[in-house]
Amino acid sequence: MRAAVIDMGTNTFNLLIGELYENSLRTLYSERVFVKIGKGGISNGKLTEKAILRAKSALEKYSSTISRFNTKEVRVTATSAIRSASNASILLSQVKNELGFEIAVINGKQEAELIYKGVKTAIDLGKHPSLIADIGGGSVEFIIANKDKIFWRDSYEIGAQRLFDRFHNNDPITTNEQHHLQSYLESELEDLSQQIYKHQPQMLIGCAGTFSTIKAIHCLQKGTLDLISKTDYPMEIPAYLAIHEELLSKNLKERKAIPGMLEERADMIVVASCIVSFLLENYAFRGIKITSAALKDGLLWETLNHTDDKLDFL
């Protein structure tokens, strides 16, 4: 059986088409489009007309791609920007009428569970708890888990687009803006701190997005391009913090020139990396692992396995 899934994130829309092979996912096709559906509106709780048009264009492209594959099931999920937009029904109804896609708007805890399932397809989490972090444009999901179970998970509406709109008003970001952002994170993530102290995760596992870009930059710096596709890419904490300091010191044009930097991530990567530096500087992790697996992989795994624990959509 083949299936196609679309993850409509705040920054990127991801298409993944695959099948099961020896109880593992086999990817047949994967694509990412930087839709940035939250740009210009997420902080006001609305989708702009331009964002809706970009979203529909990406989904039309994906619909055409899916039609070339013999897929028996297509599932589409939407996350933070759409679930918090007062006019989201406009996009949902237009997509259903024009493309036939039923978009399931999922809540943050459901998002976190799918991310966990996705990470498990790529990484052996072992027996000791790890902290899984997925920094999206609209929300950030944290999951404390091992290979067998989730100890705790939650979602916070502090994604990179939201933080960018609120704190990154100068370029390079100022020291004062950094301090305000750090204070905000301390306040917003108080519950996360309690859970980390309770469960003592040893590793920070970063999913896709910002982490994948940092991995590419690190690989180019070290000359280890053969490791760029590694599903559990290890990184030492000082190496990450060195790249973070470089991001803080540069303006947008200079960040775009960093080898390995994706142009589409160069604007929001500073505030996203500030979340990671906050985690690394405040909690005692042994190291970092980076994986490209995330929600889309969990959704595909769940779809292909017809699991009894499929998430209830809103």
Residue 228 has what pLDDT?
A: 86
Residue 239 has what pLDDT?
A: 97
H or E segment and range at residue 103: strand 103-105
Whether omega for the bond prior to residue 172 falls within 30 degrees of 0, making it cis, is: yes
Measured from the Cβ of residue 106, the count of other Cβ atoms closer than 10 Å reads 25
User: CA–CA separation, 222 vs 143, rounded Å?
Assistant: 30
List the strands of the sheet with 103-105, edge to edge: 24-34, 12-21, 2-8, 73-78, 103-105
Each residue's pLDDT, cut to its tens digit, for the chain (314 residues) gives: 899 999 999 999 999 999 999 888 999 999 999 999 999 999 999 999 999 999 999 999 999 999 999 898 999 999 999 999 999 999 999 999 999 999 999 999 999 999 999 999 999 999 999 999 999 999 999 999 999 999 999 999 999 999 999 999 999 999 999 999 999 999 999 999 999 999 999 999 999 899 999 999 999 999 988 888 888 999 999 999 999 999 999 999 999 999 999 999 999 999 999 999 999 999 999 999 999 999 999 999 999 998 545 443 33
Give the Å distances, CA to CA, from 270 to 178, 207, 233, 260: 10, 16, 21, 15
DSSP 145-206: E-SS-EEEEEEES--HHHHHHHH--SSSPPHHHHHHHHHHHHHHTHHHHHHHHHH---EEEE
Q: Are 173 and 167 in contact (CB under 8 A)?
A: yes
Partners of 15 in the β-ladder? 6, 31
Measured from the Cβ of residue 248, the count of other Cβ atoms closer than 10 Å reads 17
Strands 287-291 and 73-78: unpaired
Give the Å distances, CA to CA, from 292 to 121, 230, 233: 11, 9, 9
Residue 309 has what pLDDT?
A: 52
Which domains does the chain show, CATH number per domain? 2-108+298-305 (3.30.420.40), 123-291 (3.30.420.150)
pTM, rounded to two decimals: 0.95
- Tokens for 301? 């795994």
H or E segment and range at residue 52: helix 49-66
- Nearest CA to 136 among 63, 210, 46? 210
CB contact set of 267 (below 8 Å; sequence gap of 6+): 164, 252
For 157, phi then psi, to 5°, come to: -80, 60
